[in-house]
Amino acid sequence: KAGVTQTPRYLIKTRGQQVTLSCSPISGHRSVSWYQQTPGQGLQFLFEYFSETQRNKGNFPGRFSGRQFSNSRSEMNVSTLELGDSALYLCASSFSDFEAFFGQGTRLTVV
Amino acid sequence: GIQVEQSPPDLILQEGANSTLRCNFSDSVNNLQWFHQNPWGQLINLFYIPSGTKQNGRLSATTVATERYSLLYISSSQTTDSGVYFCADDYNTDKLIFGTGTRLQVFP
């Protein structure tokens, strides 16, 4: 059974650009969550989607957005990138809100 | 706000030693999990343990839900156990709240 797949694995962007990250959940999982990990703030929740609906959103500016497609795949977008957006972005999927399984992450560097 | 406290923040061991990592929760636990973050950043599931005790090889975990804490035991540690260990719970909110992690270094 394939795990959670995140693409791309690494990304370098310039300040002011926008970026889109992708997450394919484990087959059958309908909940997808996104987290940001930085050395200073640790692991912080961004948002969670279930059946194409955003159910929960963390305390991040509106530049961070996401969506979920009918096949449960999810994307997150960050517009007008800032240096502070450099982080490891992790996606997790779960079945019926129980155990969460994480992908390998996308490491974003903003220069 | 809801918090997860992990201790110790850092742990240095020699191969073969045993260790205990602890998580304290500020509210009733719901879907408690332990993870190991590998050097490439991926969070590897160790245990899903909202209550009781589980064992997997050299690792075991115990959650005492009534007292809002969980323990992760690592026995006969190996260098491959090095990394950061996180506990997390969703507190019935659809989002995981993570502790700050325990950084474990195991030397040969």
Local structure of B79: helix, strand or coil: helix
Which residues, in sequence order, are bridge partners of residue A85? none
Q: Nearest chain B residue to A31 by CA: give it.
A: B94
- CA distances for A75 relative to B12, B13, B16, angstroms: 39, 40, 43
Quick one: pLDDT at residue A77? 98
Question: In this complex, which of A45, A103, A107 lies closest to B96 when CB atoms are compared?
Answer: A45
Q: Nearest chain B residue to A41 by CA: give it.
A: B100
Residue B4 distance to chain A (closest CA, Å): 12
Local structure of B80: helix, strand or coil: helix
Residue B1 has pLDDT above 80, yes or no: no
Per-residue pLDDT tens digits for B10-46: 999 999 999 999 999 999 998 999 999 988 899 999 9
Residue A1 has pLDDT above 80, yes or no: no
- CA distances for B68 relative to A40, B50, B89, B98, angstroms: 26, 10, 11, 14
The helices-and-strands tally (H runs, E runs) of chain A is 0, 11
DSSP structural state of residue A15: T
Quick one: pLDDT at residue B92? 81
If residue A40 lies in a helix (H) or strand (E), which one and from where to where?
none
Quick one: pLDDT at residue A96? 75
Quick one: pLDDT at residue A53? 96
**Selection from A6, A18, A102, A30 nearest residue A64 by Cα:** A18
Quick one: pLDDT at residue B94? 79
Quick one: pLDDT at residue B2? 76
Inform me whether the C-beta atom of residue B41 falls under 8 Å from chain A C-beta atoms. Answer: yes
Q: Mean pLDDT for chain A?
A: 95
